[in-house]
Each structure stands twice: as C-alpha cells, then as structure tokens.
Amino acid sequence: MNKVMILTDSTADLSLEYTLKEDVHSIPLFIRFADEVYKDGVDLTTEELFSKVEESKEVARSTGLRSGDFHNAFNKFIKRGYDIVYIGIGSNLSSTIQSAMIAKQELETKQVHIVDSKAISCGLGLLVMRAVDLKNQGLSAAEIKRQLDELVPRIHFYFMLSDLDLLRRTTRISKTRYQLAKWFKTKPIMTMINDRIEIYKHPMGTLEKKLKVLVRIIEHKTKGYRIPDLMITHSTSEDVAQKGYDLITKRLNPNHVTMNPLGCVLGASTGRHAFGVAYVLDEQIKKA
C-alpha cells in the first residue's frame, strides 16, 4: 500500500502549527482586489484583508483554484509514490473541486481521491482533521475517502456575522431574508443547507448575546447525541472568542475542540466580528 498524503485548501482555516505537525499540505486560494491578486494566508493575512477593505472601500473577492494548480500539486506527490486524498471547499461555493477533478483526469491517475466537503472553514477543517486521524490509523487513501464521504452529511456548520451587506455582495443569499434582516436590524446566524449559505435565525443584541443564541441552537440540534469533534473559527477579539469557547465547552461538552482565526476567503464575505462553529454529530451514539 502506498503512503498517503492529505491535501486541502486554505479555506479549511487550519493553523500552520497543525498542518506542519501532521504533514497536511494546504493549497492557497486567491483573493482579488481590483487588479491585485493575493494568495490566501501567504501574501495576505485576514487582518490585512480587513484593513484593505476599510481603507479602499472595495469588496475583496475570492477566486477558486485552477486545474493547473492541482496538476502541479498532485504530480509532485504522485512522483514520490504517494496516494493523495484531497478534501476541498464545497463545490457549490467554488469551482475548486471541479478544477481538481479536471487535473485528475489530465493526469490519468488512480492515486488521487477527491472529497467534496460541501463546506468551508471549520466544516472543512473538521473533515481534514478526521482524514489525518484515519491516515494515522494506517487506512488506505481509498478507505479514507469512503469514510469521509459518509461523514460529510454529519458535518453541521453555523456562523454569526455583523456585516450583512458584505455577505450579500459576495455570496448568494435569499433576497427576502436579507431584506427582513435589514428591516429589523438583526445580526443573523447563518448555516449551510445543501452546500449553500442561508440565513438561519435573526437574533438581536450584542455579539455575546448572539453567542448564547448560537449555543442554544446547537444544544437543541444535538439533544440526546454526543459531539465527538467541534471546531471554532472567528474574526472577533480574542476576549470574545474565548468567551465563546468557554460557553461552548461548558454547555455542549464536545470530546475535542479546536479554535482558529478565520481565513481570508470566508473573512472576505463576513468581515470582522464573525464567529463560526462546526461539529460532527454522532447520530449513531446517544449520550449515556
């Protein structure tokens, strides 16, 4: 059996420390400002992104990876004798998965296994971390893909934001829900439904109050079931992020929690003060 290499893209919002430790290779997507193009997390940090948006009043837009980007990345590891598992941003959010498929066809290889996460940010990050666990157990690339494909429907993702106008300009969301949120001046909680971003709830109040609403939503959704893995991403202050972390660990009691800053791709749509939570719902095992 060949060695296994785990590949993902920068929208997984995993820390550099983690990817280096676990030998996960992350391919950066692109962030575009007018005629300027940056590699996510390489040429541009999330804080630099926010500063440029505020200074220029321009909307930053993300650009998916091209087949040539994958051709180079795949070929490098194929030549070294690896089987590859690539877990990428959801296919309804970006053309990246399609580009990976094209590159695989061009290389005419069976050594590449592609997983459509149907997610972004911490939802994708959870799948990558599960892939690493399976790899460390000695599973083949084909078996890792099979298990991840089964896990995709059990990844649940919610995030809160303060800049609804920015999300409307960069993401396809329901016009009716957008207008309602603007009318009542709410700060919505979003979710992923069928690989698309939708407004889920319209709580009012401070970010900290919305955090409590978010946790209550997840408590209701997971009632009677165990949460084995949960990941948080945010563009809030460290103080608010820590309060969210503490509240989640106390009320939801997941087995394992990871928290990382939000990357440029989702950050370009959410702006500052966003807070996202993704978790794996173990629908087969009820709490004791």
User: Do 139 and 212 reside in the same domain of the chain?
Assistant: no
User: Do 149 and 7 reside in the same domain of the chain?
Assistant: yes
When pLDDT is cut at 50, 70 and 90, the band that residue 184 belongs to is very low
* Tokens read off for 163: 């800049």
Query: Residue 220 is part of a domain; what is its CATH number?
Result: 3.30.1180.10
Computed over every residue of the chain, the mean pLDDT equals: 87
Number of structural domains the chain divides into:
2
Give residue 47's pLDDT. 93
Give residue 156's pLDDT. 92
**pLDDT exceeds 90 at position 138:** yes
User: Do 140 and 166 reside in the same domain of the chain?
Assistant: no
User: Do 176 and 141 reside in the same domain of the chain?
Assistant: no
When pLDDT is cut at 50, 70 and 90, the band that residue 206 belongs to is confident
Residue at which a domain ends, from 153, 184, 219: 153
Q: Is the pLDDT higher at 230 or at 212?
A: 230
User: Do 207 and 178 reside in the same domain of the chain?
Assistant: yes
Q: Is the pLDDT higher at 35 or at 162?
A: 35
Return d(Cα 228, Cα 285) in angstroms, integer.
10
Return d(Cα 101, Cα 112) in angstroms, integer.
9
Continuous segment of H or E residues that includes residue 33? strand 30-33
Return d(Cα 49, Cα 60) in angstroms, integer.
8
* Those residues with Cβ within 8 angstroms of residue 142's Cβ, 6 or more apart along the chain or in another chain: 83, 113
How many helices (H) and strands (E) the chain has is answered by 11, 13
Return d(Cα 129, Cα 131) in angstroms, integer.
5
pTM assigned to the model? 0.88
Helices 141-151 and 122-136: crossing angle in degrees, nearest 10, is 140
User: Do 118 and 201 reside in the same domain of the chain?
Assistant: no
pLDDT in tens, 29-62: 999 987 889 999 899 999 999 898 888 888 888 8
Give residue 53's pLDDT. 86
Q: Is the pLDDT higher at 233 or at 184?
A: 233
Give residue 211's pLDDT. 86
Q: What's the rounded mean pLDDT across residues 190-210?
A: 71
User: Do 129 and 60 reside in the same domain of the chain?
Assistant: yes
User: Do 203 and 220 reside in the same domain of the chain?
Assistant: yes
**pLDDT exceeds 80 at position 187:** no
Q: What's the rounded mean pLDDT across residues 141-170?
A: 82
Give residue 174's pLDDT. 54
Give residue 167's pLDDT. 52
Return d(Cα 164, Cα 187) in angstroms, integer.
7
**Other C-beta atoms lying within 10 Å of the C-beta of residue 249:** 14
Q: Which domain holds residue 223?
A: 154-286
**pLDDT exceeds 60 at position 284:** no
Give residue 101's pLDDT. 97
Return d(Cα 98, Cα 83) in angstroms, integer.
19
User: Do 175 and 264 reside in the same domain of the chain?
Assistant: yes
Give residue 283's pLDDT. 62
CA distances, 29 to each of 162, 164, 261 (Å): 24, 23, 17
Continuous segment of H or E residues that includes residue 180? helix 175-184
Gyration radius from the chain CA atoms: 19
Query: Residue 50 is part of a domain; what is its CATH number?
Result: 3.40.50.10170
User: Do 171 and 140 reside in the same domain of the chain?
Assistant: no
